[in-house]
Amino acid sequence: MVQFASEAVIPTRAARLIILDRDGVINHDSDQFIKSPDEWRPIPGSLEAVARLNHAGYRVVVATNQSGVGRGLLDITTLNAIHERMHKALAQVGGRVDAIFFCPHSADSQCECRKPRPGMLLEIGRRFGVDMAGVPCIGDSPRDLACAEGVGAQPMLVLTGKGEKTLRDGGFPKNTVIFPDLAFAVAALLAGE
């Protein structure tokens, strides 16, 4: 499934792309799922980091597993309302997300779009006309990083959300770059240009 922030946005092949997981990267995560707009709370500095990416010419795309939909914990209307809250919060700091791709299926489904399977990232590459090789993909869980590696993208781990547990447990791709949070990751990415 995909939600575009604006249907008028037509990405070009020259656009730089970055892919972010949502829960644990942009906003605080919850073991009970984010089930309402009131439960969506940004991680300090994350919204400003997205705005910095936008101002540097990046297309920012969110790729997120949302199994709470498949489990019946929330419906698509509520998920849209959560994303609307995120869009409004980003707009207040001069940022935007160009598209949100999500997998609504439960964890036991055999779909191709649920990370760590590559379907969602492959669809992003197709829709944006971008070769996924080297595209920065920032996540907090092993499945985010494995998905990135599976399409040749650059896995980047943040230690927010489930990130510290991911770092402690290991088992993520060897070429993963590690940062304390999204703000640090964006600062390093932009400094390296």
| pLDDT, tens digit (0-9, with 9 covering 90-100), for 108-130 | 888 999 999 999 999 999 999 99
Cα–Cα distance, 193 to 186 (Å, whole number): 11
Check 23, 29, 98, 140 and give the catalytic one. 23
Q: Is 169 a catalytic residue?
A: no
pLDDT exceeds cutoff 80 at 22: yes
Check 21, 29, 140, 144 and give the catalytic one. 21
Q: pTM for the complete prediction?
A: 0.90
The pLDDT tens digits of the residues spanning 61-84 come to 999 999 999 999 999 999 999 999
Which CATH number is 83's domain given?
3.40.50.1000
Q: Let me know if 106 is exposed, middle or buried by CB neighbors in 10 A (0-12, 13-18, 19+).
A: middle
Quote the number of domains for the chain: 1
The pLDDT tens digits of the residues spanning 147-179 come to 999 999 999 999 999 999 999 999 999 999 999
Range of 49's domain? 2-6+13-191
Q: Is 140 a catalytic residue?
A: no
Give the residue among 88, 87, 71 at the shortest CA–CA distance from 34.
Answer: 71
The pLDDT tens digits of the residues spanning 29-58 come to 998 899 999 999 999 999 999 999 999 999
SS3 75: coil
